[in-house]
Amino acid sequence: MYKKFASLLLQWHLKENKRTMPWKGEKDPYKVWLSEVILQQTRVEQGWTYYEKFVAQYPSVETLAAAKDEEVFKLWEGLGYYTRCKNLLHTARFIATHYNGKFPATYKEIVALKGVGTYTASAITSFCFNLPYAAVDGNVLRVLARVFGNATSIDSTNGKIFFSELAYKVLDKSNAGLFNQAIMDFGATVCKPVLPVCSQCCLRYDCIAFKKGTINALPVKEKVLKKKTRWFSYFIFEANNKILIQKRRTKDIWQNLFEFYLVETEANPAWTNETVASFVENQLGVDEFSIEYIVPAKSQQLTHRHIKGYFVSISFNEIPEKLKGGGNKWVEPKYMARLAFPGFINQNLRDIKNEASSF
């Protein structure tokens, strides 16, 4: 499976990957390092311009090392997280002093540089020197968790160890740089967080999450439970006069209460008919359905959390295969009155019903 995984990703990368970035394919370790530092807390779209400005003004590690602090910080202005800029200058000067201005070429030397972690060191050594190190970022973790159907928390100690080992197992050791770029781009453009393009995925026939209909549930994060604002989108699926419900079993708010099919997102998903249709078609493999309504939820303030979201009602002709079994339970609407649901759901459903009856 590991060899097939790598082979399919590389084929996709060479034939279908259209993602362009100025540092993509770069072999100069200084420029790769610069791009990675900029992107540590910054979106690609924003970092792109800054990268091009830095390369134009400081084309080598020596020119950056010789620059005045004030000039570099001025160029960095707007990127935030200024510790990155301080580390950038410190490391450039360290390389100029200890390596005669030549960027080190081994993983051990690179990971020891200030501000450089395991991911950045792996990226530099694989992209520039084709050394067999797996660069594991959020995109890579998402792809691995879904394809291999693993629900270990990616931000837990065990999860970090497990996925790092898995990333190394699937890595094409002879084409490490190419493979790392392929899996990162794949996670960014195909296996996306909320609306992955499963219908166009070269891995869908081997993807455990796709087969089981658990794409939305993976990857699992522990820290998401600690966020102050959480976005819950509840999909009310109806088929054969029955509604899909699930029981909350994780150690989280509303444990052991019932709910509808939940999609939790990092930020406001701003659902539209088009994005909902894409979600249903790609994740559930259904092309015949009816979107009854999309309603922004009235927010609820809990002790330590603010809950926001949406309620989306969808009707199917038949129960989708991927929504059968597991924790999915299809019940008649009258039966739901016997079950305990969170106040967030009950209040919003009452409001939706009242608003509908007022027309």
Query: Measuring CA to CA, which residue among 223, 247, 237, 259 is closest to residue 323?
Result: 237
pLDDT of amino acid 2? 87
What percentage of the chain has pLDDT greater than the value 90?
68
In this prediction, residue 327 has a pLDDT band, given cuts at 50, 70 and 90, of confident
Which stretch of DSSP H or E encloses residue 235? strand 229-239
What percentage of the chain has pLDDT greater than the value 70?
97
pLDDT of amino acid 199? 86
Per-residue pLDDT of 29-47, as tens digits, reads: 999 999 999 998 888 888 9
Task: Report whether pLDDT(121) > 70.
Answer: yes
pLDDT of amino acid 337? 83
- Separation CA 55–CA 64 (nearest Å): 9
Task: Report whether pLDDT(334) > 70.
Answer: yes
In this prediction, residue 227 has a pLDDT band, given cuts at 50, 70 and 90, of low
Q: Which residue has the higher pLDDT, 253 or 227?
A: 253
In this prediction, residue 290 has a pLDDT band, given cuts at 50, 70 and 90, of very high
pLDDT of amino acid 359? 44
For the segment 292-296, the average pLDDT, to the nearest whole number, is: 94
Task: Report whether pLDDT(357) > 70.
Answer: no
> Catalytic site residue 36?
yes
pLDDT of amino acid 314? 97
Of 16, 26, 36, 332, catalytic: 36
In this prediction, residue 226 has a pLDDT band, given cuts at 50, 70 and 90, of low
SS (HEC) of 223-268: HHHHCCEEEEEEEEEEECCEEEEEECCCCCCCCCCEECEEEEECCC
Determine the 3-state secondary structure of 81 from DSSP.
coil
The domains of the chain, with CATH numbers, are 2-140+165-189 (1.10.340.30), 222-357 (3.90.79.10)
